[in-house]
Structure 1
């Protein structure tokens, strides 16, 4: 999210891709909890790949609209990616994180990006100093 937040500081938010993308996201605290649970059960789950994500994917258009609302940016616009990293940012990813719930008893607890974007933005601002 930090990259998105920094882009909102210069007027219009420019993001890579096309409208309608969805992304599966996870809060760092929830991800850390999943890693801890996997480490504690390492003998049972060795070699298993877990999709760590919230129960729902988030609409990138909604995230950008909320970002504009909370930062006062002058709207948002999509552009074509120009490198591999930007292309990766455009990927719609819908994960099914049920294996971690079943084998590890893990459940994300933090609110999603759109629902808690103001809190996440304020925390980002505090971490980088006043912008």
Structure 2
């Protein structure tokens, strides 16, 4: 297939582009003005310019949006532009859109930090697109959340977690997630939701892995003063199933020991 990747310079998008090219697909990437060149054909466009997205996305067999979220107004305008372009869309949201526990068929109840993502999903699915909801992404020395926690561990000399101990999050290694996108692109029916969760891990265990074996709570009020509404998401216990995705798409994650991985290969601290 002829596939456009949006967000190909990021951790997820770069892995997805490489996996799709490795599977024999013809990959094109969206390149914003002044953006970094990649070893693929490119088309001009910018996530902050919905009209450019519509022009860029026309005529592809699939468009995979793995770009960073920019907020409600731009994200929804971008979805509308990509839908209007007419190419089948594979759109990335995340586990937090469920607001806690659930599976691929659960109705979204998004955490306030990502409140608009339920509407983005609705628009994509109504147009016959596919939605991918990853857990916390790690691996290849990257990942926004692991990088943030690594930075706090370096700053404080111990791992940190927000809220109560025992809060769980679904997680996925970026290589396994890229394999899922290939499966969704190649085999998923229109108007479907797919979950990229390889395992469920405790955030305090992740904090200890990044803190050299120790971790301390970061009070929610203090964390909120620094991180804003994102801090509340760290206190949200999430137990999300990917059983349907594994069963119907044959997705079998190979990386299922995030704590051991982060001990051996800690991410670069986010700046």
TM-score of the superposed pair, with normalisation by structure 1: 0.78
Contact 1:19 1:61 in 2 (8 A): yes
- Between the aligned partners of 1:8 and 1:23, the Cα distance in structure 2 is 19
Contact 2:163 2:217 in 1 (8 A): no
Are 1:64 and 2:207 matched, yes or no? yes
Unaligned runs of 5+ in 1: none
Residue number in structure 1 paired with 2:147: 2
Secondary structure of the residue aligned to 1:86 is: helix
Flag the structure with larger Rg.
2
Secondary structure of the residue aligned to 1:107 is: coil
Label 1:10 to 1:59 Cα distance change in 2 as closer, same or farther (>3 A): same
Which one is further off, 45-54 or 5-14?
5-14
Contact 2:153 2:211 in 1 (8 A): yes
Deviation readout 1:42-82 (Å, 9 max, x if unpaired): 4xx2211112101x311222222222226xxx742231142
User: Following TM superposition, by how much is the alpha carbon of 1:32 offset from its aligned partner in structure 2, in angstroms?
Assistant: 1.0
Higher share of residues assigned helix: 1
Residue number in structure 2 paired with 1:96: 241
Are 1:41 and 2:187 matched, yes or no? yes
Pairs aligned (count): 119
Secondary structure of the residue aligned to 1:23 is: strand
User: Following TM superposition, by how much is the alpha carbon of 1:13 offset from its aligned partner in structure 2, in angstroms?
Assistant: 3.6
Higher share of residues assigned strand: 2
Secondary structure of the residue aligned to 2:211 is: helix
User: What pairs with 1:1-131 in structure 2 (closer than 5 Å)?
Assistant: 1-11=146-156, 12-42=158-188, 45-54=189-198, 56-69=199-212, 75-80=215-220, 81-82=223-224, 83-121=228-266, 124-125=267-268
Contact 1:15 1:78 in 2 (8 A): yes
